[in-house]
Structure 1
């Protein structure tokens, strides 16, 4: 799975938010190229959160995020 990972902060609390993509449908390059607009849409939906950084990458199936 490909993951668009957004690190955002609310006051002094930062969290990870992710959007998953099927690599058969979306390439890493596509995620990187369209990531900025996806992050902008996310920011518009959650204006109280301040985006710190974002990245695209392969999500490790061994690492679980809570």
Structure 2
């Protein structure tokens, strides 16, 4: 499973940051498809969360995410 990981910070408090994980609903999304379609997913998330600013993002497997914790 591929996960889109967003590093976001509050606009009003730039030191308040967190990682947000967006999981693709399609089971067969490749890392390249994640990179190509990631910007649309990020724009959709940003529109729904106007108080947050996306600082960076990456595509990763679920296994990579659990290793980062």
Per the normalisation by structure 1, the TM-score is 0.82
Aligned counterparts of 1:35 and 1:62: Cα–Cα separation in 2: 17
Q: Which residue of 2 aligns with 1:41?
A: 44
Unmatched runs of 5 consecutive residues or more in structure 2: none
Unmatched runs of 5 consecutive residues or more in structure 1: none
Question: Would you tell me which structure has more helix in proportion to its own residues?
Answer: 2
Give the aligned CA root-mean-square deviation in angstroms.
Answer: 2.5
Aligned length: 66
